[in-house]
């Protein structure tokens, strides 16, 4: 990992509000999953200040891929832009400012990895918008499924009972639901 990325991650871990930032081990695990899957196109819903975006961009720098990061709040999108610049990872990320439910419908590329960290009531919608562009082996990681178990119960029930998916809750950080598409 380059020093600029290391320093930017450390700065965010020190300064950013802990409740809005992804748990560091979860973010590293997400990045490792993306690299293991050799993910070329990764989509993120909810960049916040860009902490998880940096970890995905790092994975993209390893796989030769790219990240499309969605953020509805213009100030947060700007913070993500600034943090990517600090970490020298701007070239790996396209930021889609606006509501992911709209911006992602305008895209057509196949998606290898989807990371969901937006508002709790919409996880299934984000999933459905991207699902039609996922191939067998494509992976979905959803954050906070343990910390917000009740809010996200409909989502976890949905992916765990879907006939074309395998899904497991990983009790790391605030809880990650890791889902893989196994059939069409
Ligand atoms: C918990 S924060 C994301 C934290 C970030 N993933 C990280 O680890 O640093 C959730 C973010 O989702 C964004 N968000 C909520 N609803 C959204 C939507 N419909 N489309 C895009 N972004 C959304 C919020 O503005 C907020 O910045």
Token pair of 121, please? 């009531």
What is the distance in A from the centroid of ligand 1 to the CA of 47? 5
> In this structure, how many other beta carbons lie within 10 angstroms of the beta carbon of residue 157?
12
- What homologous superfamily is domain 3-8+21-181 in, according to CATH? Vaccinia Virus protein VP39 (3.40.50.150)
Does an H or E element contain 33, and which? helix 24-36
pLDDT for residue 27 is more than 80: yes
- Average pLDDT, integer, range 157-178: 98
Annotate 166-179 with b (16+ C-beta within 10 A) or e (fewer).
ebebeebbbbbbbb
Distance CA 10, CA 16 (A): 10
Q: What percentage of the chain has pLDDT greater than the value 90?
A: 96
Mutation test of ligand 1: which of 43, 45, 46, 95 has the most ligand atoms closer than 8 Å to its C-beta? 46
- The model's pLDDT over 116-138, given as tens digits with 9 standing for 90+, comes to 999 999 999 999 999 999 999 99
Going by DSSP bridges, is the β-strand pair 176-181/111-116 parallel, antiparallel, or unpaired? unpaired
Tell the residue nearest (CA) to atom 13 of ligand 1: 46
Distance CA 113, CA 141 (A): 8
- 139 close to 32: Cβ distance less than 8 angstroms: no
In the chain, where are the structural domains located? Answer: 3-8+21-181
Residues 6+ apart with CB under 8 A from 122: 101
């Amino acid at each position: 990992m380059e020093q600029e990325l290391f320093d930017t991650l450390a700065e965010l871990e020190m300064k950013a509000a802990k409740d809005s930032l992804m748990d560091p081990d979860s973010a590293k695990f997400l990045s490792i999953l993306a690299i293991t899957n050799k993910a070329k196109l990764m989509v993120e819903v909810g960049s916040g200040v860009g902490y998880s975006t940096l970890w995905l961009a790092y994975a993209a720098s390893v796989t030769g891929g790219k990240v499309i990061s969605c953020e509805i709040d213009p100030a947060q999108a700007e913070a993500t832009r600034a943090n990517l610049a600090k970490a020298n990872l701007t070239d790996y990320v396209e930021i889609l400012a606006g509501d992911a439910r709209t911006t992602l419908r305008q895209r057509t590329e196949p998606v290898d990895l989807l990371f969901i960290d937006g508002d709790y009531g919409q996880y299934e919608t984000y999933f459905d918008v991207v699902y039609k562009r996922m191939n067998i082996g494509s992976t979905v990681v959803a954050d906070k499924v343990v910390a917000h178990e009740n809010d996200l119960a409909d989502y976890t029930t949905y992916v765990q009972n879907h006939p074309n998916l395998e899904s497991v809750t990983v009790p790391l950080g605030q809880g990650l639901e890791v889902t893989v598409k196994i059939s069409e």
